[in-house]
Amino acid sequence: MDFEPAYTPEQRAFRAEVRAWLDDHVPHVEGDQDSDENYAKYRQLGRDLGERGWLRPTAPVEYGGGGLSVDHAIVLAEEMDRHDLTSPPYYDSGGSLGGASILVWGSEEQKRRLLPPIFRGETVTWQLLTGPEAGSDLASTETDAMRDGDEYVINGTKVFIGGSHGADSFWTICRTDREGARHQNVSWFMIPSDLPGITVERMYLLSDGREGIGRGYKNTIYFDNARVPAENLVGGENNGWKVASTHLELEHGSGGRIARNVWFERTRDRLRSLPANGAHPLEDAETRGLLADLFMETEVQRLFELRNFWMNRTHQDMSYEGPQASYYRKMSGLRASQIMLELLGPYAQLNDAEFDPTGGRFDSYLRNAIVSLHPGGTADIQKVIMARRIGIGRGERERAGRTVE
Amino acid sequence: MDFEPAYTPEQRAFRAEVRAWLDDHVPHVEGDQDSDENYAKYRQLGRDLGERGWLRPTAPVEYGGGGLSVDHAIVLAEEMDRHDLTSPPYYDSGGSLGGASILVWGSEEQKRRLLPPIFRGETVTWQLLTGPEAGSDLASTETDAMRDGDEYVINGTKVFIGGSHGADSFWTICRTDREGARHQNVSWFMIPSDLPGITVERMYLLSDGREGIGRGYKNTIYFDNARVPAENLVGGENNGWKVASTHLELEHGSGGRIARNVWFERTRDRLRSLPANGAHPLEDAETRGLLADLFMETEVQRLFELRNFWMNRTHQDMSYEGPQASYYRKMSGLRASQIMLELLGPYAQLNDAEFDPTGGRFDSYLRNAIVSLHPGGTADIQKVIMARRIGIGRGERERAGRTVE
Amino acid sequence: MDLSLSEEQQLLKQGVEDFVAREAPLEAVIELTDSELGYSPEHYARVAELGWLGAAIPEQYGGAGLGLTDAAVLFEAFGYAALPGPFISSGVVSALIVEEAGSEEQRAELLPRIASGQAIAVLALTERGYGWGPEGVHMRAASSNGDYVLDGDKLFVHDAIGATHFITAVRTGDDGALTLLVVDASAPGVSVRRLQGFTGSECVVRFEGVRVPASAALGDGGAVEHPLDRALTKAAPVLSAYQVGGGQAAFELAVDYSRERRQFGQPIGRFQHVQNHIIQLVNHVDASRWTTYEALWRHDSGKPGIEVASHLAKAVTSEGFVHAVNYSHEVHAGVGVMHEYGLTLYTTLSRSLYHQLGSPRYHRRRLADLLVDYDLGPDPLD
Amino acid sequence: MDLSLSEEQQLLKQGVEDFVAREAPLEAVIELTDSELGYSPEHYARVAELGWLGAAIPEQYGGAGLGLTDAAVLFEAFGYAALPGPFISSGVVSALIVEEAGSEEQRAELLPRIASGQAIAVLALTERGYGWGPEGVHMRAASSNGDYVLDGDKLFVHDAIGATHFITAVRTGDDGALTLLVVDASAPGVSVRRLQGFTGSECVVRFEGVRVPASAALGDGGAVEHPLDRALTKAAPVLSAYQVGGGQAAFELAVDYSRERRQFGQPIGRFQHVQNHIIQLVNHVDASRWTTYEALWRHDSGKPGIEVASHLAKAVTSEGFVHAVNYSHEVHAGVGVMHEYGLTLYTTLSRSLYHQLGSPRYHRRRLADLLVDYDLGPDPLD
């Protein structure tokens, strides 16, 4: 066994190249990371990365990707992480998950047309999954796409969408057969966001603008007879549930990640920085015990992600591990937020320039521990999928969805 | 509000009488409380109590009860509790719950015939509920009782029954219509235990003889064409589910109780008695914190029981409170057992004359915290009932079962 | 034994519930949280007018002279409505401090004004340093020509915006005696700012060369540790009752949603996962309710074990309110985190009140210290 | 990075699994627990013969010279079968103590005999006093004519019945130096009795005027605190692996039962309440597995953070095993508490091993002390 990534000389050389480039190109921003001005800088970083093939490094070159190996992708992800950035550095769920799904399910023509703008960072794409009626029950979408000549006419509403700076396209699931059987009546579309009949309206949430770049708030999107060309239907009419299984598998955390245990370090260091009242809290046995609890929570979470990263990259047969990591992340995050509340006291709640030097890091963690309970499927849904994969009470154990072609 | 029982002068006088009587009559036993010899002494105590009408104080005099008020019953229960005894002082679930159910559902003739031996402590009765196939799903019993002339012919198996010292009668639910609809095909019977065709076989459990008087082990009971007189069918043929709702409501904890928080006191006192290693553990902040956790667990449990006692005795409309207390007792007991394991270290596990002066009190608590998870309906079943009573996701809120006529 | 509300308490409860349903529906409260003051002065005036603000203040000082349990019935209904305002901070916490620690003259002067709403007094106790009890007070008030001069910050002061007085805990004299100074909020050098974050009404109150006369010190010169502690021990379960009300609202929202919202072809309440959330939720609320009311009953009836019961109640309730809200969020998923829905009012409250008058850990530690030698009392049966 | 077992480890695992399936099916293990010795000497001899007992003992001392991870693979399979016997107590804990604390001569003499099963050595550390680490050792061994004389009890000694040697921690000399004496179990004055209760192999070992030569002290005369601590830090994750195996068995029993058992017209696994138990169960087992294997890997590869990882693993695993078994009981209800079913083997083990080599609280505290200044190490990316 080996729990550490072992880097090849090639990877080490690539890391040096990436690190130097990022040091030059990652924008230095002041004030609100998510202001329009700062967002524009991150968008430019995305385009610059895309131009070099570093935005979607493993995607094929012919579709605008980098054509690089997984080894390179790991290095890129890790180096972005050092800057506290994801790849892309802004909210682009429809690009990340839609791009991957189109690689599996799109026609050759669609791949050549739809993927390059995404993979090169030229466009931002939002995924539009849930509607007011759908919740976690994606298959029950009531957004309709009805064929009319060479076009589909879209009507309906999608909620909890995107972020604060708009998108170029929407990647979404619609009902294409109102009378069809469940799971056999839905299809996927890539929809230009500027079509007539599309309205975007802001939704304000508990997370309240402090979730990361471009994630300030969510949106409701209304389709009122928006007409999308039929060539933008991906994976075949009424075949949408299969595309969804690819999409959801990726969303449900089977990808894993390698990361430092940053929240333990951050919390301990913040605790150390708090003014003491007599003996420092870190000298108190109970406080130290809470710190140990936080370490346990975060280490288990780190190890589940590490395991999934390894399984995914080495093509191990995955079963319940994806939803397990996802479920654990949600619940462990909630428990960790509670420990922070006890450990740091009311300081954990602050996003106050005078009394909180972290820029609201813990305030944001505490809020997002709640807000993160539902996206990508609620904790309950993760448990339902885990149970199916373990095969509890069923004849057959469910298999994980296809994530590579 | 008043959280303390206020005793009338009459109750105080009655208490003095009971206390003096019990001091004279509760047997002083040595060694294993559950030995045959000691069990005989507790049986005699039951008979003596029965003779005075103190065994089932509120049951009508005409059926062998004491005809006393609830006020008297409270005092009797409390005074028995001071001797660490329940009423009756040995395992007699079929008497306690069957007696109450027959009061609600029995014919006048049945009350006069079946109740006096129970209420006077002359007989011991076991309840036979679950079968190998039935578990918590009482209605799916596969023990059949088929009418044949003036008798019913019983065939089937019941498990997890009774205790270590035999019983005179069995109070049980049987299927009386193999083809009947669920819940409309079962009936209740009082069955003499000495009928031909009845075999009793011991079951050894984790609780392993340390659960109280007469609860040493459980039994499997086989019926092989045992013939019971039809007059012993209670509540009408195929009307068993209604009788069950009375029976189960009582079993599910809606009765409540008034009790001191003994397990907090016992644990703290045991902790205090442990030999220290340098500073005494009670001076350690973390240990004290665990003690506080135990106090919280046990106080909440005590208050739920107290609330139910008050609701039950004052005929408040009860909803989910019975199964809530039952569920909480089960889960809180498990958590408390874990705290004891940490607080007392391996001493919590001992039933060893040399190193454990408590006579295995904590050993027994730890085992029973597990064994108690399923009797009277599993923790899951308690949650199912709570959900129905709260009306979660259903049109109608379910009402509690009838417990008084 | 009688665990029901008295007839008067039932009437009070009904009256308060009608009041908040009429005057402060959830939509109105959501709007209030975005206002500068954070609450409605009209509500405050109206509550004073109805005599509720002085519920726990003795009649001789202009209050209604009710028991703590009565006050709790009232504030539980406020908590149910998530009604913001310095009702408890001024009407209960500060009033009890003045009552316990003040001289007769101070009581006579301050309490009627608190009861009438003319004065809004809030406790300024905690400072930058870690630790949230009186032992954490380090700020000194220097003596100067018979006056005290205050310099320093008080942090995490609840309901400071709009307050007229700060009962400010400081150290005075050579021995650093704990002293409670009643400081006029309009005195030169006093400034208040709301703290930003996942917070409710928490503020920083800043004192820069603020002069107050020696007579601003509560009491007749004796030590105030014990009176302060007594007041906070009494106030804690009233605050807990507010949390119980909030938990109850989170419960009802979850039950209603579970009955209406459909997923996978049925109301989500049919799913045992959802049922489980609601069951854990109601268990937390009920545990909070009964520990709280037992503590209140001990106070009102002068039973022993008051301190143990108060610490228990605040620890169970502060923790329970957070869990209750979390479970409600699990039931509601996306809808629950939308500002306009209303659940997030309780979410924020649960985090904010978690620390007010001491976090669960603070109370658990004090509880633990008492429990080592705690005598559960004579057997009630003796 | 590679989280799979090596080919050799896979083969070992398969071999051990075949062995226990053949030689120690659950029915046989249930019978063993009622025997006087509590385990099968035939199993022990066979395991020694197969070279597994000395898995973690260096080849030069008659062992197989495998890594801790290899040993863990082996003992995880033993834990899966709930196989009783002093395998870990002698072959891992005592062997590591001798290796770390013994002189070259002692290593050469004792280790081959431990590996071959001729000697069964177990650690006698804890005493009556509260606290389960070396700091809890108070028993003195007096010097008398160059011998040591031991008087006193060692409590909660695992696997003492059938042992040939006790590595007995005592205090010697004027400075009360911690000393580890290898005491022959057959020496006059040594007696052993199994402790009764919800226990596994825990015993009291009594020393009454037991004389051992000065040469029985492990080491060359230097302090043994650190060698002992190193040995226990290494042994802990191997014991954790045994617990992981036990948790895995509790998981598989629950899954199988949930698929077979029908209630209310369907397999109980269809109920989300039941699913939830199994999901929490597997989360505990997986958390235990990966913290354990990371600790083992740190040991075997000499990575920093060995102590943190070991304490983390033992804390997570001892706690996790108890929870895993409890959840399995919730799935099984009545059937699970029947002796003949087999689940209770794991229940008893989970409570017994909870304290062996230190309870979760002991390890959590040691972990906490390390974490205050713990350096997570250079970023692996640098």
Question: Do residues D231 and D340 share a domain?
Answer: yes
Q: Is the peptide bond before A229 cis (omega within 30 degrees of 0)?
A: no
Residue B397 has pLDDT above 90, yes or no: no
Task: Give the residues across from D169 on adjacent strands.
Answer: D180
Q: pLDDT exceeding 70 applies to what percent of chain D?
A: 98
Contact C380 B79 (CB under 8 A): no
Residues of C in contact with B390 (CB under 8 A): 255, 278-279, 282
Candidates A222, A70, A234, A249; CA nearest to A154 is A222
With 0-12 / 13-18 / 19 or more C-beta atoms within 10 angstroms meaning exposed / middle / buried, residue A369 is: buried
Between B72-76, C318-322, D207-211, D285-289, the lowest mean confidence (pLDDT) is in B72-76
Q: How many domains is chain D partitioned into structurally?
A: 3
CA distance A5 to chain C (A): 36
Candidates D79, D127, D126, D71; CA nearest to D99 is D71
Q: Where are the beta strands (DSSP E) in A270-395?
A: none
CB A251 within 8 A of CB A260: no
| Residue-level pLDDT at C380 | 56
Residue D380 lies in a domain: no
CB neighbour list of residue A361: distance below 8 Å, 6 or more residues apart: A266, A270
Residue D1 lies in a domain: no
A246 SS3 class: helix
**Among C119, C149, C167, which residue terminates a domain?**
C119
Contact B206 D347 (CB under 8 A): yes
Question: Do residues C232 and C358 share a domain?
Answer: yes
Cα C41 to Cα C18: distance, rounded to the nearest angstrom? 19
Phi-psi region of C221 (alpha: psi -120 to 50; beta: other; left: phi over 0): left
Question: Do residues D320 and D367 share a domain?
Answer: yes
Residue of C nearest to A206 (CA): C337
| Residue-level pLDDT at A254 | 65
Question: Do residues D181 and D261 share a domain?
Answer: no
> Look-up: residue for tokens 């992981």?
D244
**Among C73, C104, C119, which residue terminates a domain?**
C119
Question: Do residues D329 and D276 share a domain?
Answer: yes
Q: Where do the domains of chain B lie, and which CATH numbers do they carry?
A: 9-90 (1.10.540.10), 125-239 (2.40.110.10), 255-390 (1.20.140.10)
| Residue-level pLDDT at A405 | 40
Contact B1 C268 (CB under 8 A): no
Q: Where are the alpha helices (H) located in C302-379, listed in sequence order?
A: 306-332, 343-355, 360-371
Mean pLDDT in residue range B151-166? 93
Considering Cα of C165, then C170, then C174, then C177, what sign does the dihedral take?
A: positive
Please, what's the b/e burial string for C10-43 (b: 16 or more CB within 10 A of its CB; e: otherwise)?
Answer: eebbeebbebbeeebebeebbebbeeeebbbeeb
Residues of D in contact with C273 (CB under 8 A): 272, 276
Contact C130 A277 (CB under 8 A): yes
| Residue-level pLDDT at D190 | 98
**Among C180, C199, C216, which residue terminates a domain?**
C216
Phi-psi region of C53 (alpha: psi -120 to 50; beta: other; left: phi over 0): alpha
Q: Where are the alpha helices (H) located in A57-107, listed in sequence order?
A: 70-82, 93-105
Mean pLDDT in residue range B5-22? 92
C330 Cα distance to chain centroid: 26
Cα angle for residues A66, A72, A78 (degrees, 5° grid): 115
| Residue-level pLDDT at B405 | 41
CB neighbour list of residue D132: distance below 8 Å, 6 or more residues apart: B345, B346, D125, D126, D156, D355, D358, D359, D362
CB C349 within 8 A of CB C274: no
Local structure of residue C139 (DSSP, 8 states):
-
* Distances in whole angstroms, Cα of residue C124 to Cα of each of A44, A389, C89, C156, C168: 48, 55, 10, 8, 5
Residue B314 has pLDDT above 90, yes or no: no
Residue of C nearest to B316 (CA): C4
Question: Do residues C261 and C134 share a domain?
Answer: no
Contact B363 D329 (CB under 8 A): no
pLDDT 10s digits, C168-196: 999 999 999 999 999 999 999 999 999 99
> Which 3-state string (H, E, C) describes B88-123?
CCCCCHHHHHHHHHHHHHCCHHHHHHHHHHHHCCCC
A260 touches chain D (CB under 8 A): yes
| Residue-level pLDDT at C33 | 86
Question: Do residues C109 and C50 share a domain?
Answer: yes
Mutation to test the A interface, candidates B286, B288, B342, most A Cβ within 10 Å: B286
First to last CA, chain C: 16
Contact D330 B135 (CB under 8 A): no
Antiparallel, parallel or unpaired: β D141-144 and D147-158? antiparallel
Residue C143 lies in a domain: yes
Question: What kind and span of H or E run contains C14?
Answer: helix C7-23
Cα D297 to Cα A298: distance, rounded to the nearest angstrom? 19
Backbone angles phi, psi at A50, to 5 degrees: -60, -40
CB C188 within 8 A of CB C168: no
Residue B50 has pLDDT above 70, yes or no: yes
| Residue-level pLDDT at A150 | 97
| Residue-level pLDDT at B225 | 97
* pTM of the model as a whole: 0.94
Residue of C nearest to A275 (CA): C129
- List chains adjacent to chain C, taking adjacency as at least 3 C-beta pairs closer than 8 Å: A, B, D
Question: Do residues C210 and C231 share a domain?
Answer: no
Provide the pLDDT confidence category of residue C67 given band limits of 50, 70 and 90: very high
**CATH code of C161's domain:** 2.40.110.10
Cα C58 to Cα B221: distance, rounded to the nearest angstrom? 68
Mutation to test the A interface, candidates D256, D281, D286, D376, most A Cβ within 10 Å: D286
Residues of C in contact with A355 (CB under 8 A): 128, 155, 195, 204
pLDDT 10s digits, C16-51: 999 999 999 999 999 998 899 999 999 999 999 999
Residue C260 lies in a domain: yes
Q: Nearest by CB to C333, which of A135, A274, A354?
A: A135
Contact A373 C333 (CB under 8 A): yes
| Residue-level pLDDT at C220 | 87
Residue D2 lies in a domain: no
Provide the pLDDT confidence category of residue B164 given band limits of 50, 70 and 90: confident
Candidates A106, A115, A98; CA nearest to A59 is A115
Residues of C in contact with D269 (CB under 8 A): none
Cβ-Cβ pairs closer than 8 A, A with D, add up to 145
**CATH code of D303's domain:** 1.20.140.10
Residues of B in contact with D274 (CB under 8 A): 380
Residue of C nearest to B301 (CA): C287
Mean pLDDT in residue range C256-281? 95
Question: Do residues C237 and C365 share a domain?
Answer: yes
Mutation to test the D interface, candidates A304, A390, A394, most D Cβ within 10 Å: A390
Residue D381 has pLDDT above 80, yes or no: no
A284 touches chain D (CB under 8 A): no
Local structure of residue A319 (DSSP, 8 states):
S
With 0-12 / 13-18 / 19 or more C-beta atoms within 10 angstroms meaning exposed / middle / buried, residue B36 is: exposed
Which residues of chain A fall below pLDDT 70? 208-216, 250-254, 401-405
pLDDT 10s digits, A227-244: 999 999 999 999 999 988
Residues of B in contact with A286 (CB under 8 A): 285-286, 289
Provide the pLDDT confidence category of residue B240 given band limits of 50, 70 and 90: very high
**CATH code of D102's domain:** 1.10.540.10
Residues of C in contact with A352 (CB under 8 A): 195-197
CB neighbour list of residue A315: distance below 8 Å, 6 or more residues apart: none
Residue D165 lies in a domain: yes
Cα C317 to Cα C329: distance, rounded to the nearest angstrom? 18
Question: What kind and span of H or E run contains B229?
Answer: strand B218-229
Question: Do residues C233 and C360 share a domain?
Answer: yes
Antiparallel, parallel or unpaired: β B218-229 and B151-161? antiparallel
Question: Do residues D242 and D364 share a domain?
Answer: yes
Mean pLDDT in residue range C90-101? 98
C89 residue type, one letter: S
Q: Nearest by CB to A291, which of D290, D312, D368?
A: D368
| Residue-level pLDDT at D13 | 97
Residue D347 lies in a domain: yes
Q: pLDDT exceeding 90 applies to what percent of chain D?
A: 92
Domain range for D155: 122-216
Residue D230 has pLDDT above 90, yes or no: yes
CB B79 within 8 A of CB B54: no
Contact D275 A5 (CB under 8 A): no
Residue of C nearest to B314 (CA): C2
Question: What kind and span of H or E run contains B345?
Answer: none
Average pLDDT, chain B: 90
CA distance D264 to chain A (A): 13
| Residue-level pLDDT at A279 | 81
Q: Nearest by CB to C371, which of B291, B387, B392?
A: B291
CB B101 within 8 A of CB B246: yes
pLDDT 10s digits, B183-230: 999 999 999 999 999 999 998 888 765 556 666 688 999 999 999 999
CB neighbour list of residue D13: distance below 8 Å, 6 or more residues apart: D5, D73, D74, D76, D77
Residues of D in contact with A268 (CB under 8 A): 371-372
| Residue-level pLDDT at B252 | 60
pLDDT 10s digits, A318-345: 899 999 999 999 999 999 999 999 999 9
Contact B349 D340 (CB under 8 A): no
Residue C324 lies in a domain: yes
Query: Which pair of tokens denotes residue B332?
Result: 């809180």
Residues of A in contact with C326 (CB under 8 A): 334, 370
Higher pLDDT, D76 or A217: D76
Mean pLDDT in residue range D178-186? 98
Question: Do residues C208 and C234 share a domain?
Answer: no
Residues of C in contact with D271 (CB under 8 A): 272
Backbone angles phi, psi at B26, to 5 degrees: -65, 125
Q: Percentage helix, strand, coil, to 5, in chain D? A: 55, 15, 30
Contact B393 C269 (CB under 8 A): yes
Task: Give the residues across from B222 on adjacent strands.
Answer: B157, B199
Backbone angles phi, psi at D338, to 5 degrees: -80, 130
D273 touches chain C (CB under 8 A): yes
DSSP per-residue letters across D70-130:
HHHHHHHHHHHTT--STHHIIIIIIHHHHHHHS-HHHHHHHHHHHHHTS--EEEE---SSS
Cα C42 to Cα C27: distance, rounded to the nearest angstrom? 16
pLDDT 10s digits, B94-139: 998 899 899 999 999 999 999 999 999 999 999 998 888 777 788 8
